[in-house]
C-alpha cells in the first residue's frame, strides 16, 4: 500500500512539475530606474550625476533587465547652459546611458532648433509624444513620438506628454502642442501592436484624464516627472500605479512583475533611492569637475558685496515683493532711463538665500538669471500697465512665473477679486497712473513678446534697436553691482496684497 502511494505521488509530481514550470516561465520582470530635474552641475549639484552613475552600475550588475529613464527638466536653464545650451547635460547622460529621455518645458529653454541639435548629440532617444511641427508635418526634428524599449523577452513602451503651456511660457514660435487625449490612446494601441508588454505614460502636469487612462488599462502605469516637493503640483491622480519622486535629486526604482497571459496581472513595487547616500563614480565625477573648472574660469569673478540679506526662493519671487527682484528691476529702469520697469518673477531662478556680507560673483547672477533675456524699452499707456499687472497677479495662488516685480510705480491688488480685476490701485510719483498717459517701460523682450502668457501690448512702441543690440539683463545687473560695489537690496512696500 505504501509503495502504491509513493508511486502515485511520484507520478503526480511528474505531471504537475511541467505546469508549475510553465506558469513560472510566463512571469516577466523588469526594473525601471527613473530620475529627472538635474540641471545643476555645480560643485554641489554635479555630485548627483556622479552618484547616480554608481546607482545605475549597481542596479545593472544586479539586474540585466534594468531600464533607465531620464525624465528631462535639465537641458536648461542653468549657468552652464547659458553658454552651451545644455550640451554638457547630454554629454553627461551619454556616459550614464539612459534608454530614453523624456522632454519637459525646460528642454525648450533655448527654443526649438537648439533642442533638435541636442537630440542629435544624444546616443539615446528624446521622447515628446504630442508635439507637431509644421516644418516636418510631424514631430519636431530629432524627437521621437514614443519609445519601445526591448530587453531579452520583454518590451515596454513609453509615451511622454509635454505641457501645452510650453508654447506661451517659453515663447515658442513654431511648434504646436496636441491635446493628450488625441494621442495617448492611439500611441498605446500602436505600441501594443508592436508587441509591448506594458505601456507607460510620463507627464509633468497631472490631469484626471490620465487616471481614466490607468483605470481603463489604456496605459499600465504613469510617472509624474515633477517631485512631490513641488507643493504647487500636488497630484490629483490617486491610482496606485501613478508614481513620482518625493524629493529632488532622488531616484525611483520600480520593480515590475507581470504574467504573460490573456489578462494582464501586473504588480509594481516602488522604492525611492536617496542618490546622495551613494559614493561618487570617479569617471563621472571627473567629467563633472571639468565642466565646473570651465564654469569657474568663466564666472568666478567677484563683482561686489551684499550689505543686507536677500533670497531668490521660488515662492518668494512668485508671490510677493522680493528684495533681489527689486534690485533687478531698479537696475533695469536706471539703465535705460525709463519711467517704469516690470519683470516676471519666473525669470529669477536661483532658489538661493544670501546672507549679509556675501561676496557676489558673475556665477551668482548667471544662476539667478539663466535665460538670455534682453532688456528693452517701450512706450505704453497707463491702461497697458494695468493690463500687464492684472495678468501678473492673476495666478499668484499657483506660483506661476508671471508674478510681476516693479520699479517706478507702486500697486495694490486683492486676490479676493476676480482674475482680471484684482489690481485696485497703481501710483507713479505718488499719483494715480492715468490710463491714457504715455509711460516708458523697461522690461524683457520675453515679457513684451508674450512670454508667460502675457498679453501682447499692441500699442507698445519700442525704440529702433535691433534684437542683437539689446543688452542682456544679466549683464545689466552685473554692471550695476560692479558700479556700486556694495549693494543693499530691500523691500519698500511697492507691491501690497490687500487681503493678507
Residue 256 belongs to domain with CATH number: 3.60.21.10
Of 291, 315, 337, which residue is a domain's last? Answer: 291
How distant is the alpha carbon of residue 282 from its chain centre?
28
Write the burial class of residue 36 (CB in 10 Å: 0-12 exposed, 13-18 middle, 19+ buried): buried
User: Based on the domain organization, do 376 and 279 belong to the same domain?
Assistant: no
Instruction: Answer whether residue 419 is part of any domain.
Output: yes
Residues forming beta bridges with residue 243, ordered by sequence position: 223
User: Based on the domain organization, do 111 and 259 belong to the same domain?
Assistant: yes
Pseudo-torsion of CA 279, 354, 481, 493, nearest 10°?
140
The cell numbers describing 49, all together, are: 550625476
- Per the structure, the count of domains in the chain is 2
Of 250, 268, 291, which residue is a domain's last? Answer: 291
Task: List b or e across 358-368, with b for residues whose CB sees 16 or more CB atoms inside 10 angstroms.
Answer: bebbbbbbbbb
Q: Residue 388: its pLDDT value, please?
A: 97
User: Based on the domain organization, do 215 and 334 belong to the same domain?
Assistant: no
Distances in whole angstroms, Cα of residue 211 to Cα of each of 207, 215, 217, 219, 473:
7, 6, 10, 9, 42
User: Based on the domain organization, do 190 and 332 belong to the same domain?
Assistant: no
User: Based on the domain organization, do 341 and 392 belong to the same domain?
Assistant: yes
Using alpha carbons only, give the angle 478, 482, 484 rounded to the nearest 5 degrees: 120
Give the HSE-up count for residue 48: Cα atoms under 13 Å, Cβ half-sphere.
20
Three-state SS at 304: strand
User: Based on the domain organization, do 235 and 371 belong to the same domain?
Assistant: no
Contact 49, 84 (CB under 8 A): no
- CATH code of residue 345: 3.90.780.10
User: Based on the domain organization, do 321 and 215 belong to the same domain?
Assistant: no
Q: Which of 51, 120, 110 is nearest to 86 (CA)?
A: 110
Give the range of the structural domain holding residue 327, as residue numbers without chain letter: 300-497
- Report DSSP state, residue 104: -
The cell numbers describing 399, all together, are: 506660483
Instruction: Answer whether residue 11 is part of any domain.
Output: no
Contact 344, 384 (CB under 8 A): no
Q: Which of 127, 119, 113, 125 is nearest to 175 (CA)?
A: 113
What is the residue-level pLDDT of the chain in tens, covering all 500 positions? 434 443 333 333 333 333 333 445 589 999 999 999 999 887 666 689 999 999 999 999 999 999 999 999 999 888 888 889 999 999 999 999 999 999 999 999 999 999 999 999 999 999 999 999 999 999 999 999 999 999 999 999 999 999 999 998 888 989 999 999 989 999 999 999 999 999 999 999 999 999 999 999 999 999 999 886 554 445 689 999 999 999 888 999 999 999 877 678 899 999 999 999 999 999 999 999 999 898 888 888 999 999 999 999 999 999 999 999 999 999 999 999 999 999 999 999 999 999 999 999 998 999 899 888 999 999 999 999 999 999 999 999 999 999 999 999 999 999 999 999 999 999 999 999 999 999 999 999 999 988 888 987 766 666 545 455 789 999 999 999 999 999 999 999 999 999 76
Instruction: Answer whether residue 12 is part of any domain.
Output: no
Q: What is the CA radius of gyration of the chain?
A: 27
Instruction: Answer whether residue 305 is part of any domain.
Output: yes
Residues forming beta bridges with residue 321, ordered by sequence position: none
Instruction: Answer whether residue 339 is part of any domain.
Output: yes
Instruction: Answer whether residue 14 is part of any domain.
Output: no
The pTM of this model reads: 0.80
Instruction: Answer whether residue 162 is part of any domain.
Output: yes
Distances in whole angstroms, Cα of residue 163 to Cα of each of 61, 63, 126, 140, 273:
36, 33, 16, 15, 27
| Count of Cβ atoms closer than 10 Å to residue 404 Cβ | 26
Cis peptide before 77 (omega within 30 of 0): yes
User: Based on the domain organization, do 359 and 466 belong to the same domain?
Assistant: yes
User: Based on the domain organization, do 247 and 334 belong to the same domain?
Assistant: no
Of 263, 291, 319, which residue is a domain's last? Answer: 291
How distant is the alpha carbon of residue 107 from its chain centre?
8
User: Based on the domain organization, do 427 and 357 belong to the same domain?
Assistant: yes
| Count of Cβ atoms closer than 10 Å to residue 206 Cβ | 18
The cell numbers describing 293, all together, are: 573648472
User: Based on the domain organization, do 35 and 176 belong to the same domain?
Assistant: yes
Distances in whole angstroms, Cα of residue 50 to Cα of each of 76, 264, 287, 437, 478:
19, 37, 9, 57, 32
User: Based on the domain organization, do 136 and 205 belong to the same domain?
Assistant: yes
Using alpha carbons only, give the angle 352, 243, 105 rounded to the nearest 5 degrees: 50
Instruction: Answer whether residue 106 is part of any domain.
Output: yes
Task: Give the pairing of strands 423-428 and 242-243.
Answer: unpaired
Amino acid at each position: 500500500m505504501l509503495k502504491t502511494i509513493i508511486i502515485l505521488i511520484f507520478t503526480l509530481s511528474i505531471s504537475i512539475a511541467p505546469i508549475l514550470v510553465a506558469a513560472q516561465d510566463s512571469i516577466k520582470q523588469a526594473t525601471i530606474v527613473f530620475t529627472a530635474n538635474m540641471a545643476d552641475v555645480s560643485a554641489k549639484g554635479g555630485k548627483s550625476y556622479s552618484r547616480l552613475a554608481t546607482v545605475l552600475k549597481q542596479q545593472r550588475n544586479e539586474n540585466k533587465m534594468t531600464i533607465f529613464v531620464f525624465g528631462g527638466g535639465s537641458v536648461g536653464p542653468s549657468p552652464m547652459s547659458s553658454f552651451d545650451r545644455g550640451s554638457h547635460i547630454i554629454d553627461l547622460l551619454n556616459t550614464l546611458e539612459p534608454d530614453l529621455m523624456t522632454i519637459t518645458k525646460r528642454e525648450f529653454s533655448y527654443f526649438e532648433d537648439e533642442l533638435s541639435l541636442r537630440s542629435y548629440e544624444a546616443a539615446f532617444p528624446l521622447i515628446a509624444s504630442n508635439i507637431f511641427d509644421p516644418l516636418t508635418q510631424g514631430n519636431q526634428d530629432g524627437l521621437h513620438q514614443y519609445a519601445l524599449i526591448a530587453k531579452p523577452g520583454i518590451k515596454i513602451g513609453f509615451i511622454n506628454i509635454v505641457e501645452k503651456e510650453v508654447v506661451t511660457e517659453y515663447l515658442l514660435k513654431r511648434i504646436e502642442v496636441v491635446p493628450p487625449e488625441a494621442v495617448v490612446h492611439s500611441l498605446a494601441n500602436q505600441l501594443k501592436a508592436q508587441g509591448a508588454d506594458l505601456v507607460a505614460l510620463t507627464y509633468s502636469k497631472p490631469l484626471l484624464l490620465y487616471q481614466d487612462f490607468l483605470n481603463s488599462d489604456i496605459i499600465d502605469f504613469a510617472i509624474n516627472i515633477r517631485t512631490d516637493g513641488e507643493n504647487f503640483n500636488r497630484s490629483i491622480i490617486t491610482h496606485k500605479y501613478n508614481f513620482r519622486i518625493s524629493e529632488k535629486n532622488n531616484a525611483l526604482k520600480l520593480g515590475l512583475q507581470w504574467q504573460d497571459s490573456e489578462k494582464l496581472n501586473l504588480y509594481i513595487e516602488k522604492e525611492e533611492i536617496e542618490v546622495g547616500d551613494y559614493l561618487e563614480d570617479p569617471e563621472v565625477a571627473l567629467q563633472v569637475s571639468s565642466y565646473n573648472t570651465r564654469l569657474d574660469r568663466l564666472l568666478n569673478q567677484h563683482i561686489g558685496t551684499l550689505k543686507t540679506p536677500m533670497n531668490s526662493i521660488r515662492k518668494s519671487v512668485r508671490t510677493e515683493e522680493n528684495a533681489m527682484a527689486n534690485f533687478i528691476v531698479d537696475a533695469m529702469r536706471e539703465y535705460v532711463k525709463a519711467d517704469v520697469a516690470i519683470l516676471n518673477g519666473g525669470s529669477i531662478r536661483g532658489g538661493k538665500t544670501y546672507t549679509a556680507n556675501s561676496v557676489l560673483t558673475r556665477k551668482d547672477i548667471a544662476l539667478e538669471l539663466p535665460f538670455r533675456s534682453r532688456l528693452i524699452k517701450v512706450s505704453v499707456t497707463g491702461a497697458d500697465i494695468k493690463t500687464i499687472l492684472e495678468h501678473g497677479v492673476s495666478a499668484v495662488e499657483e506660483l506661476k512665473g508671471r508674478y510681476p516685480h516693479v520699479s517706478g510705480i507702486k500697486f495694490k491688488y486683492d486676490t479676493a477679486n476676480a482674475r482680471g480685476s484684482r489690481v485696485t490701485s497703481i501710483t507713479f510719483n505718488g499719483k494715480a497712473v492715468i490710463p491714457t498717459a504715455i509711460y516708458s517701460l523697461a522690461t524683457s523682450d520675453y515679457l513684451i513678446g508674450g512670454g508667460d502668457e502675457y498679453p501682447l501690448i499692441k500699442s507698445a512702441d519700442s525704440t529702433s534697436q535691433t534684437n542683437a543690440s539689446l543688452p542682456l539683463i544679466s549683464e545689466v545687473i552685473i554692471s550695476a553691482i560692479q558700479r556700486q560695489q556694495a549693494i543693499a537690496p530691500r523691500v519698500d512696500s511697492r507691491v501690497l496684497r490687500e487681503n493678507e
